[in-house]
Structure 1
Amino acid sequence: MVKQMNYGSDYKYIPVTSIGSGTGIGVLPDLFSYTTQIVNIYLVGDPKTRDFVLVDAGMPNSAKEIISVIESFFGKNCYPKAIILTHGHFDHIGAVIELVKRWDIPVYAHELEMPFLTGEISYPKPDPTVEGGMVAKMSSMFPNKPINLGKNVNPLPSNGSVPHMPEFKWIHTPGHTPGHVSLFREKDRVLIAGDAFVTVKQEYLYRVLTQKHEISGPPRYLTSDWKSAKESIIKLAALNPTIAVTGHGSPMYGELLTKSLEKLVENFDEIAKPAYGRYV
């Protein structure tokens, strides 16, 4: 099962981090967030039964750290039933090959994301000219070549269900990537948004380093379809989530989340969409 996997030719460690790196947050009894450098991974499941999944796979070279966190939270030699990818950008698949090799588990992603995960198509190049700060200017060094997970990656079920996450549904939220998905649980309206929107302005180094808490659109330097990005945020705001965890930044709750999403929808062009850049 684990044969024929390789990262893209530009895969490498990225020397950027934040004050949140190495921090874990118990968002809910069955939802744990952990930050590797500048990006979040999520463990979804019951620590008592040790039945859980991993959502996204961190930064390059973070496999040992992720394994250690999982074993400290769920127990020695525990591992997830599957890895669910919100999308395939380098900071969300950075340890996926090592983890699949170690655990021999399946990976799931939207069918439109599959070509980027099976070695067929590169993502659009990061845009260092986009409006933003130092992280945006650094983005030309970020990997964008496709990885190849071979037969280890599978398309998410077309009925909206999420394997091994029985109460969640996946929602297609393109814009940041063609096959980006967010995950939503109706009973408590918890949202795993991925990079459809984030809670830190990811383009600005100081805000990334300090993790200043504020809602923003998807990271500008890797977003190529702003029309779809706005439509995806409108779709997620209509769900009226009570808790949102995002690919970058800390969780957002309750009234602050509701008002922040309303503001983001109403002022998308000012808050999220850059004034200039390659894909605007």
Structure 2
Amino acid sequence: MDDTSLNRFEEMIPPMTSIRSGVGQLIMPDIYCYCNQIVNLFFIGEIGNSNNWVLIDAGMPHSAKEIIDEVKNRFGEVNAPKAIILTHGHFDHVGSIAELLDHWNVPVYAHHLEIPYLTGEKNYPPGDSTVDEGLVSELSPMFPNHGIDISKHVEKLPDDGSVPGMLGWRWIHTPGHTPGHISLYRDEDRVLIAGDAFVTVKQESLYKVMVQKQEISGPPKYFTTDWEAAKRTVEKLEALKPSVAVTGHGLPMTGEELANELNKLVQHFDEIALPENRRYT
């Protein structure tokens, strides 16, 4: 990422955080969820196998030191990930990737439809303040929407659905929030890393983001541009019958509660997820 892009990130980041910022949570023996201000990122790998782990997403801008310190706490001083997997390229999921790549010279993998936003070729549409859902939505046109350039590192995910460095996992194309959004699924224990395909906090409400009030929701409304695809994506993920779901924003959800809430989201997607007013169709 060039200096201009970094400066634009600096100028446009609203001061938002949650009560969970800086808190890590072990979801499974090999899945560690770390909350960086308002977004979750994931360390995949067991402590005893610290030379073989993968980072999913790269957090908010200016958070590289915080992320690296958390990695050291979990895996030791010099253990770089095998790879970084991106669910998508919005600023809160790639904010610190340039600095992390300066520290760790590792490959980055993303869906081929997301790569133009990661090589400086395309910008995302601006945030949609017309969704009638709260202060975060109103602020969203201020959020960075420009692409970044990590073309020296980024590669497309394998066509066979496998995930580099994550044996037993597969990636699933889950568009709607962005064209190349992916989720990750492990069939053995039905664990789902959903990214922003759906989330477990009402991301449009500043209060609910800050206190992390748990409720299942569709993708963050202010940045979602294809609502028909977003609905099909939720249906696809519900059909997997996940036992555990961790999302880009909000707390993990499990078991019967997850099954019921995800089914409710599918059955009532238009009422729960679809904003009445919206710029994007």
Q: What secondary structure is seen at the aligned counterpart in 2 of 1:99?
A: helix
Query: 8 Å contact 1:216–1:272 — kept in the other structure?
Result: yes
Alignment of 1:78-89 (within 5 A): 78-89=79-90
| Alpha-carbon distance in 1 for matches of 2:172, 2:5 | 27
Query: 8 Å contact 1:6–1:148 — kept in the other structure?
Result: no
* Structure 1 counterpart of 2:69: 68
Q: What secondary structure is seen at the aligned counterpart in 1 of 2:117?
A: helix
Query: 8 Å contact 1:4–1:150 — kept in the other structure?
Result: no
- The one-letter code matched in structure 2 to 1:11 is F
Cα deviation for residue 99 of structure 1 reads 0.6
Cα deviation for residue 8 of structure 1 reads 6.3
Offset from partner CA, 1:70-99 (integer Å, 9 cap, x none): 000111122211100000000000110111
Number of aligned residue pairs: give it: 278
* Structure 1 counterpart of 2:184: 183
* Structure 2 counterpart of 1:41: 41
| Alpha-carbon distance in 2 for matches of 1:101, 1:75 | 18
| Alpha-carbon distance in 1 for matches of 2:204, 2:2 | 34
Alignment of 1:123-138 (within 5 A): 123-138=124-139
Alignment of 1:218-237 (within 5 A): 218-237=219-238
* Structure 2 counterpart of 1:112: 113
What TM-score do you get using the length of structure 2 for normalisation?
0.96
* Structure 1 counterpart of 2:19: 19
| Alpha-carbon distance in 1 for matches of 2:61, 2:5 | 10
Q: Which runs of 5+ in 2 are unaligned?
A: none
* Structure 1 counterpart of 2:146: 145
Q: Percent identity among equivalent residues?
A: 56
What TM-score do you get using the length of structure 1 for normalisation?
0.97
Residue 243 in structure 1 maps to residue 244 in structure 2: yes
Residue 273 in structure 1 maps to residue 274 in structure 2: yes
| Alpha-carbon distance in 2 for matches of 1:8, 1:274 | 32
Q: What secondary structure is seen at the aligned counterpart in 1 of 2:53?
A: strand
- The one-letter code matched in structure 2 to 1:10 is R
Cα deviation for residue 14 of structure 1 reads 3.3
Query: 8 Å contact 1:5–1:148 — kept in the other structure?
Result: no
* Structure 2 counterpart of 1:262: 263
Query: 8 Å contact 1:5–1:97 — kept in the other structure?
Result: no
Residue 192 in structure 1 maps to residue 193 in structure 2: yes
| Alpha-carbon distance in 2 for matches of 1:171, 1:129 | 30
Offset from partner CA, 1:113-161 (integer Å, 9 cap, x none): 0000000010011111212100000111100011000121000001100
Query: 8 Å contact 1:47–1:74 — kept in the other structure?
Result: yes
- The one-letter code matched in structure 1 to 2:202 is K
- The one-letter code matched in structure 2 to 1:42 is F
* Structure 1 counterpart of 2:157: 156
- The one-letter code matched in structure 2 to 1:23 is V
* Structure 1 counterpart of 2:31: 31
| Alpha-carbon distance in 2 for matches of 1:73, 1:63 | 15
Cα deviation for residue 277 of structure 1 reads 1.4
Residue 205 in structure 1 maps to residue 206 in structure 2: yes
Q: What secondary structure is seen at the aligned counterpart in 2 of 1:118?
A: coil
Q: 1:4 to 1:238 in 2, by over 3 A?
A: same
* Structure 2 counterpart of 1:10: 8
Q: What secondary structure is seen at the aligned counterpart in 2 of 1:10?
A: helix
